[in-house]
Amino acid sequence: MVVVFTMSPPSSHSLNLYCSLQSPSLITNPTLTRPPHLQLPDRIKLLLGSCKTASHLVQIHASILRNGLDRNPLLQFKLLRSYSSSGLVNQARLLFDQVHEPNVFFWTAIIRGCALNGLYKEAILLYYQMQDGGVEPNAYTFSSLLKAFSMELLVREGEAAHGHVLKLQLGDDSFVQSSLIDMYARFGKLEAARQLFDQMLHKSIVSYTAMITCYTKRGENEDGMRK
């Protein structure tokens, strides 16, 4: 029986939770030190949260299938995000395609997964499919999407996405603002990036770095930030 679920030595909770998935007789064993009163889906959610390797993730997925929980929306979502974070985008996409009428959280998770793993064109295509399906993006969707446009240097499409941000009244979100600044900086559009930067109420290291990079590419020194 495989019971190791982290790169470091597993905690007793992780060990016992996985054992309980594998053997029904262990679920009611009073000698196991696991969180009390947790239903099977909750135990699986905890395991997904502590899973660190792709092989362990596949084992948890097998347990989900074996226990008939593959249509549980929350488990589907957490599994999708875990696959994406582990670099298993193909598995994440297969799982996403099995979701009936995915909501904005599922769309955002798969778009983020593609962008996170350098599949920028796929992330952009998913965004357009999301729109065709009548699902409105949220701030987290745009954070990943704008990175995809910037990495592909799709200026017109990126500017259109900025318009979509404003239409949905997400322009004041700090994550979106930083992503927009980074996008325009990569496009070499210093004035647009600086205007967004000056409008930010709470500037982050990401926004500062994007602006400094933009000035550096234009051959200007640090005095440009003080104008």
**200, 177 contact by CB (below 8 A):** yes
CA–CA distance from 41 to each of 20, 86, 127 (Å)? Answer: 12, 21, 30
Confidence band of 209 (pLDDT split at 50, 70, 90): confident
On the CB side of 67, how many CA atoms lie within 13 Å of its CA? 21
**126, 114 contact by CB (below 8 A):** yes
Which amino acid type is present at position 167? K
pLDDT of residue 39: 83
The CATH label, of 1.25.40.10, 2.60.200.20, 3.40.50.2000, 3.50.50.60, for the domain at 101-227 is 1.25.40.10
Q: Which residue has the higher pLDDT, 75 or 222?
A: 75
From the CB of residue 188, how many other CB atoms can be counted at a distance below 10 Å?
13
Q: Is the pTM of this model over 0.75?
A: yes
Domain with CATH 1.25.40.10 in the chain: 101-227
pLDDT of residue 155: 97
**63, 22 contact by CB (below 8 A):** yes
* Average confidence score pLDDT of the chain: 82
**33, 13 contact by CB (below 8 A):** yes
pLDDT of residue 21: 47
